[in-house]
Structure 1
Amino acid sequence: MADTRRRMRERKRLRSRRIRAVLAGGLVFGVGATMTLAAWNDSEYASSTFTAGRFDIVGATDGATFSSHATAGAAAALSFAVAPTAMVPGTTTYALFSVKTANPSAAGTLQLTAGTPGGTGLATYLTYGVRLVPTAATPSQSCTAATYGAASGASSVIVADGSALTVGGAATTSVPQVVAANGGNQLNYCVAVTLPTTAVNAAQGLTMTQTWQIQGTSS
């Protein structure tokens, strides 16, 4: 009888241990599930749209009325102080060509290049030079013998006096040929063409045509 009671007590103790073990396992599992549910999520996003800008330069022969002359066929006709049809030995004539950026446009740098002269041969005898000059109170008067002579600093000389008509401008001067964005400033190129005193009789009646290009590069 005593043995029977002892065995029953042993069975109860074993059953109690198993229940506690199961409960303990359940508690561990329950904690793991709770931690997984607590892992909340959130995100941040960023995006942008890009549009290319524009670079556009325009020119004027009077220092004030600017428009586009984008091809040699649409070149602006320079207005020389002395009519090119009346040149004699010792004559120098001046013409203005002003350049700036359009609005809107990015900023940029400029460089003058010379085309191949046409006509019947007068280019052989002519020489020229180009200088940057300030804008006068009356823009059309920015390029004269006086303003050309005053702009003698190294930063102003684009083409040296006495150059052949085929010579282009320097890519850089001590002051870069920079035009600001959106028409913020203008550069005035004063072109001086000379028929030297040494021109021989054979130059009489000859003609010359020339096209200069101001090439702009965005910066």
Structure 2
Amino acid sequence: MTTTANQRKVLAILAGGLVLGIGTAVTLAAWNDSEFANGTFTAGAFNLEGSATSAAAGWGEHAAAPGAALTFTLPLAGNLSPTDTVYAPFWVRLDSTTTSDATVTTSLESGTGANATNISYAVYALDEADACDGSATTNGTLLLSGSTLSASTAGATFDLAHGTGVAGAAQKVCFIATAGAGLTEGGAATGVWEFAAESN
């Protein structure tokens, strides 16, 4: 009788322990929660434009050669004699959609024609108030030069700032071309220059 009573107590304790074990498993259930984040990435805009007219007008796209036609001082540009020098202003700026500043490098794209070897040139960056004439060599910053329209020696680069909803400030540039002593009578020459803007 004592053995049976002890067995019942042991069975009752075991049964209680099993119930307790089941209850403990239920109370250990975990809560789950998540947090998400997202980022949207939109590319900015970048566009250089030029004007052969002025800092205030004549702006347009000239993304491929031969580009904008420069207006050199007249009447000499169409009637050069040896040692004549002519001048032409040009302006570049970042357009109103651009969202980054830029560094601009000037290079000679090509020089063609019978007198390409008889024309030397220089390109200067100027302040807007400075004239595009002989004073550019002292007032300006040399960007590029060449002893012919087939040669080039790099000078300085220049920076352009973008605007906010408006075009950035324009940079005035002055082209100077000089006819050499060996200028061929009646021969023409064409120079094409590139202003390459890189965002920074």
TM-score, with normalisation over the residues of structure 2?
A: 0.83
Identity %: 27
RMSD: 2.3
Paired residue for 2:42, among 37, 51, 55? 51
2:105 maps to what in 1? 111
For the pair 1:218 / 2:199, whether they are aligned, the reply is yes
Q: Is the 8 A contact 1:92 1:195 kept in 2?
A: yes
Q: Which structure 2 segments of 5+ residues have no match?
A: none
CA 59–81 in structure 1, closer or farther in 2 if over 3 Å, else same: same
Counterparts of 1:118-133 in structure 2, within 5 Å, are 118-119=112-113, 121-133=114-126
For the pair 1:79 / 2:71, whether they are aligned, the reply is yes
TM-score, with normalisation over the residues of structure 1?
A: 0.77
Bigger radius of gyration: 1
Counterparts of 1:184-199 in structure 2, within 5 Å, are 184-196=168-180, 199=181
Shift of 1:145: 2.0
Deviations 1:58-106 (A, max 9, x none): 0011332221111225x21111123311222332111111111112123
Distance in 2, Cα, partners of 1:49 & 1:13: 72
Hey, which of these two has a bigger chunk of helix by percent? 1
Q: Is the 8 A contact 1:132 1:188 kept in 2?
A: yes
Distance in 2, Cα, partners of 1:16 & 1:122: 120
- 4+ aligned runs moved over 4 Å, structure 1: none
Distance in 2, Cα, partners of 1:207 & 1:54: 39
Counterparts of 1:20-169 in structure 2, within 5 Å, are 20-36=13-29, 39-64=30-55, 65=57, 66-73=59-66, 75-83=67-75, 84-105=77-98, 106-119=100-113, 121-136=114-129, 142-151=131-140, 156-160=141-145, 163-168=147-152
Aligned length: 193
